[in-house]
Amino acid sequence: MKKLCFFLIIAVACHFTKAQNVGIGLTTPTRAHLHVASPVSDITIAAFGSAGNTGISVDDNNPLIGFNNYKEAGTRKFMGTSLNYASILYFEASTGMLRYNMAGNRGTEGQSLVNYKSFLAIDSNGNMGLGTTTPSEAKLQIHEAAGNTQFIAAAGSNLPGISTFVASTNASLGYNLRYQNGLKFMGNGYGSYWNYAPALGKLYYYYSSTTGTADGVASGVFSLVIDSSGQLGIGTTSPKAPLHVTGNVVLGSTSIIPAVGYKLSVDGKIICEELKVQLSGDWPDYVFENNYNLPSLDLLEKQVMEQKHLPNIPSAADVEAAKGIVVGQMQNKLLEKVEELYRYVFQLNNENKAMKEEIKQLKGNKK
């Protein structure tokens, strides 16, 4: 008797055609070997695990596949009795858009899903959007709120790689650095990132001065900037020339260190069309002042022969100890010696003229 009742129920619920199609919920299953139909507002197919477990559902709303949820009387509800998440994957036939949404709440069996969040969308052109339902700008378009990392490419979790993020309004490209409410290392080692400020038209480069570990807090130290005019600034965020450096510069060698107290150290020769040295001291015009203490030639000869160099001019030992000369100072000192020579020449000329006059007078007296 029980077997007879079972077959009667199957016969009432299902309809068979000559083509061996089975219909559930309709009398003309012509579209498939198993054709299930139900009202638009209800579930079409549901697959549950054992009692209280999650499962999937299918309905003709777009159409749609529900994970751990089903549709009943126009409302989506959770399946399992445990507190779990739920999501849906559905296709909009009118727009050609495939979307994946996550419920904004967790729930248990019979509880309604609310506040859907769209995580992924693929439009009719094959564009994929993560965090956006309108990926019209690129084949892969990723949207994420400022303060989080948008994209990571690495060899694995907690390993160095690259990332893209927007800390506030500036787009950044990180190397072994990511951003999650602050800079963090992706893997062990150093890190750096480029940061572009659209409002200023400047591209900045920052680096971590110390190493770090995966997920460790990192800090960026400013290194250089390129502004909207193409000017490069090293050590300054406001370059005033095509190359603007505020620190020391070394040219011509990979091994020497900058000379102490000098902005430019060159290991090699320098050639230029013109060189101008700006001095901060007095130009030696003071030599021609009446109160200038010009030593006598006798005293000058004695000093030079004893010291083997001109007064106020560094000796060979001094130049060797200082590892060179200061061009501006040396030009100043040499000009001082040249002007002193002119004064000596003037003195000798005056003495020569006086001697000639005296000789002339002596010759006249003899006549």
pLDDT tens per residue across span 181-198: 899 999 999 999 999 999
pLDDT tens digits, 248-257? 999 988 888 8
Is 90 exceeded by the pLDDT of residue 238?
yes
Reading the block at residue 194, the tokens are 């480029």
Measure the CA–CA gap between 271 and 262, rounded to whole angstroms.
19
What was the pLDDT predicted at 5? 45
- How far, in Å, CA of 273 to CA of 279, rounded? 20
Whether the pLDDT of residue 323 is over 90: the answer is no
pLDDT at 358 over 60: yes
In whole angstroms, give the CA distance from residue 28 to residue 35: 9
Instruction: Over range 79-87, report the average pLDDT.
Output: 92
How far apart CA 6 and CA 25 sit, in angstroms, is 17
**How confident is residue 7, by pLDDT bands cut at 50, 70 and 90?**
very low
Per-residue pLDDT tens digits for 324-354: 888 888 888 899 999 999 999 999 999 999 9
pLDDT over 60 at 119, yes or no:
yes
Give the rounded distance of the alpha carbon of 90 from its chain centre.
38
> Tokens 């079409």 map to which residue?
44
d(CA 204, CA 236): 10
Cβ neighbours, 10 Å, residue 109: 16
Measured torsion, CA atoms of residues 360, 363, 365, 367, in degrees rounded to the nearest 10: -130
**pLDDT higher for 43 or 146?**
146
Share of the chain above pLDDT 90, in %: 51
Give the model's pLDDT for residue 322: 84
Angstrom distances, CA of residue 57 to CA of 108, 118, 137: 16, 19, 33
**What is the Cα–Cα distance from 146 to 167, expressed in whole angstroms?**
5
